[in-house]
Amino acid sequence: MKIQNKKTVASILFVLISFVCVAQTVPPPPAPPPPPGLPIDGGVLAGLFVGIIIGVKKLLKR
């Protein structure tokens, strides 16, 4: 086999091996765990009522 033929065969093999390597898929990493569920409904209402009470007090003081 001549050197020119060896280069051609090597180039073709390199291209074919590259396609095989690209065609392989890697599974995606696992998703992170979801954040813990924290209820905010009771605290929001309590804070709202306390804020309203403090605001009314300040308005009446003026």
Token pair for 60:
């009446």
Give residue 59's pLDDT band: very low, low, confident or very high (50, 70, 90).
Answer: very high
Instruction: Give the predicted TM-score (pTM) of the model.
Output: 0.37
The full DSSP string for 45-59 is HHHHHHHHHHHHHHH
Q: How many residues does the chain have?
A: 62
Greatest C-alpha distance within the chain = 103
User: Cα–Cα distance between 50 and 54 in angstroms, integer?
Assistant: 6
Token pair for 22:
């690209």
> DSSP assignment, residue 62?
-
Q: What pLDDT, in 10s, does the model give residues 13-54?
A: 888 888 777 766 777 889 888 777 766 666 788 889 999 999
